[in-house]
Amino acid sequence: MNAIKLITIFILIAFSNLAIAYGSTTSSKKACKKPTLTQIMPAHLAAVAPGAQFSFQTSANTLIHSIKVDANKIPVEVSIKKTANGFKVSGKLPASIKKKYVRVNVEATTSNRCHGIDGWLLKIEPVKP
């Protein structure tokens, strides 16, 4: 009887050591921290005129040369200014966009090589004469 208990305990210890080794919570890799967008103007689903200006701020760990903006897949030229909390990015919607909605997409990479894509939707309302 004691031999069975001893063998059972030995087996349980062997499997628990394997489980601990397999499910270790420590990791040598750093977590991927994607760039974030804040202070988005005009806000998501806001009504704007064709060619309207927009702006947003990126997180401080964003690489300035990696920031790319497009509106409905049309590249947008932007101006980027360094701030205490990251980068202030501003641009103008292309006047060639004739659709009712425009998606502003932002792609950027952080200093830890983490690539992120974000954006928002705006409603284009034609200027009334």
- The CATH number covering residue 119 comes to 2.60.40.10
Q: Is 59 part of any domain?
A: yes
pLDDT average, residue stretch 85-111: 95
Burial class of 19 by CB neighbour count within 10 A (0 to 12, 13 to 18, 19+): exposed
Question: From CA 67, how far away is CA 87, in angstroms rounded?
Answer: 10
Position with higher pLDDT, 107 vs 16: 107
For the chain, the domain total comes to 1
Tell whether the model's pLDDT for residue 6 goes beyond 90: no
pLDDT confidence of 1, banded at 50, 70, 90?
Answer: low
Share of the chain above pLDDT 70, in %: 80
Residues 81, 62: Cα–Cα separation, whole Å: 12
Report angle CA 14, 20, 25 to the nearest 5 degrees. 175
What is the token pair recorded at 39? 């202070």
Instruction: Report helix, strand or coil for 117.
Output: strand
Q: Which residues constitute the domain of residue 105?
A: 37-124
Banded pLDDT at 24 (limits 50, 70, 90): very low
